[in-house]
Amino acid sequence: MKAFSYKTDKGILQIGVEFEDTFYNFSQAWELYKEIKNNGRGPRLNFLQVMVEADFFKLETLQEVLVTLKEEGRLSDLELKNTFTFEPPIGRPQKVLCIGRNYKEHATELENDIPEEPLFFSKAPSAIIPHDGVIRIPDEVGRVDHEGELAVVIGKQARNVSESKAMDFVAGFSILNDVTARELQKSDIKAGRPWFRSKSFDTFCPFGSFLVPKGAVQNYNNLELEVTVNGDRKQHTSTSQMIFKIEEIVAYISKYCTLQPGDLIATGTPAGVGELHAGDIVECKISGIGNLKNRVE
């Protein structure tokens, strides 16, 4: 069960769901479900971020709505047959936080020390683009790299949470490409400056295409991750190779800043980061989560 945000050919934002290998309009499905259950006071769910923030984004909720409509014979009318475009699953997160050097081989390839505790930094939310969006390389910025990562979406406010309770605050999982202006990053590090700007150019945060509810991903600490450029594999690993697991990451960050519903955490990239050029097609895939494909200009 995978959810996504999309825009209709008339420019209307809606929630979609992939159910039994078919795409459906979940926003309309939700309204029909409320009608069947005589629950007119339930919230409208036209935006996936609203669904997450209202704590409605759960596997059980998605299943109940779609199965109910299927049994009522009303689901097939909601199949997405017209042209639509993907939007980022969460369009306006308060924070986009990333974990650096969370795979030993990646730390080694960039000649960095392996961290003893999670190293986190931020990207500007304005850098987010959706699946099929275009990554635009700024003039005279130098080398720009791809960094495919498993993304965690926070579902509840989290402050000083324990590792044992951390997953209670996670809504689901997606994919994020932490596009990085590598030369600029290295020069900032050498000068003792933060590397925020090298991560935050417009279009440097492809995100999507799906948001998969936590309950649908049983073994999130052992997912296959692959990044290809023009069909050639560049990065390949399992999330089991992460130095710090998802529970550790969520708990650690929550000690230093309160996580809010809709916040994104990119959990780190494996070895194999490489340069992107105009005309490239970069695709990130994670087993059970989906794919995120973008063109470079």
What pLDDT digit, counting tens, does each position of 26-69 carry? 999 999 999 999 887 788 999 999 999 999 999 999 999 999 99
Angle at 127 between CA 82 and CA 191, to 5 degrees: 160
Q: What's the DSSP call for residue 9?
A: T
What pLDDT digit, counting tens, does each position of 74-97 carry? 999 999 987 899 999 999 999 999
Interval 202-214 mean pLDDT: 98
How many CA atoms within 13 Å lie on the side-chain side of 192?
0
What gap in Å lies between CA 92 and CA 128, rounded to an integer?
Answer: 9
Angle at 213 between CA 212 and CA 215, to 5 degrees: 125
Residue 106's pLDDT is what? 76
Residue 40's pLDDT is what? 73
What pLDDT digit, counting tens, does each position of 135-184 carry? 999 999 999 999 999 999 999 999 999 999 999 999 999 999 999 999 99
What pLDDT digit, counting tens, does each position of 240-296 carry? 999 999 999 999 999 999 999 999 999 999 999 999 999 999 999 999 999 999 999
Q: Which of the two residues, 290 and 218, has the higher pLDDT score?
A: 290
Q: What residues contact residue 207 under an 8 Å CB cut-off, 6+ apart?
A: 88, 89, 90, 128, 129, 130, 151, 174, 175, 176, 177, 264, 292
Phi, psi angle pair for 268, to nearest 5°? 110, 155
Spell out the domains of the chain, with CATH numbers in brackets.
2-87 (no CATH), 96-296 (3.90.850.10)
Residue 152's pLDDT is what? 98
Q: What's the DSSP call for residue 109?
A: H
